[in-house]
A and B are shown apart, each in its own frame.
Chain A
Amino acid sequence: SQTIHQWPATLVQPVGSPLSLECTVEGTSNPNLYWYRQAAGRGLQLLFYSVGIGQISSEVPQNLSASRPQDRQFILSSKKLLLSDSGFYLCAWSPGVSGNQPQHFGDGTRLSIL
């Protein structure tokens, strides 16, 4: 069966520090991969998605970036964090076929910027 791992679970970082959140999927190949951010008590905002290695689509202009160095690995990064980057970050995957596929989520990372 497929599993998705996301880490760390919680992270406290000072303003201006770098960020690296990692997500890996097991038990499937060529998945679509997604990064979302959720502000407290709010809905999900799609940040990035990827349909293949090295293919990244950005949904929201910001100081975050994403990379997919391997088929089942998706990384969210920042060179300098802002206070507004605080939130709950979720990684998700879906089968690599077009449309109508549910996304399956990792357990999330709670990021607090001080």
Chain B
Amino acid sequence: AQKITQTQPGMFVQEKEAVTLDCTYDTSDPSYGLFWYKQPSSGEMIFLIYQGSYDQQNATEGRYSLNFQKARKSANLVISASQLGDSAMYFCAMSPNRDDKIIFGKGTRLHILP
């Protein structure tokens, strides 16, 4: 069965520090994609970053990077130099290659403190 687990329901981090949001996944598919989304209090879901299961390098997008450890089935999101605007709910998600659907984790609420 496909499953995404985010074990941190909430995190408080000081502004300008780096943040790591944990995500582990479970799948029997050999090929899949991993995603992270940000949901601010206004509600919209913002796509942040993508990692393919066969990608050799960790994905990076600006201040976001994905720490992909395939053997451990983990796909942690790292936010460097956190900003107040990073305060939001963050969802990890996975899609098997054979499917058009995405499975979402329950999310981690990140609070950046000034």
Residue of A32, A42, A44, A101 ringed by the most chain B CB atoms within 10 A: A44
- Please, how many angstroms separate the alpha-carbon atoms of A44 and B97 in the complex? 20
Selected from A103, A106, A108, A110, the residue in CB contact (under 8 A) with B102 is A103
* Size of B's binding interface in residues, CB under 8 A: 26
User: What residues on A are CB-neighbors of B98 within 8 Å?
Assistant: 98-99
Give B38 Cβ to nearest chain A Cβ, in Å. Answer: 11
> Which of these binds chain A: B17-25, B43-51, B78-86?
B43-51
Place the interface of chain A in its size category. 20 to 34
Chain B residues, Cβ within 8 Å of A35: none
What is the number of contacts between chain A and chain B, taking CB atoms within 8 Å? 64
B76-114 interface code vs A (CB 8 A; 1 in, 0 out): 000000000000000100011111111011110000000
Interface centre among B35, B96, B101 (most CB of A within 10 A): B101
Q: Which residues of A contact B33 (CB under 8 A)?
A: 99-102
A43 and B106 contacting across the interface, CB-CB below 8 Å: yes
B-chain residues with CB within 8 Å of residue A102 when the two chains form the complex: 33, 35, 47, 50, 102
Task: Give the interface of B toward A (CB within 8 A).
Answer: 31-33, 35, 37, 42-47, 50, 52, 91, 95-102, 104-107
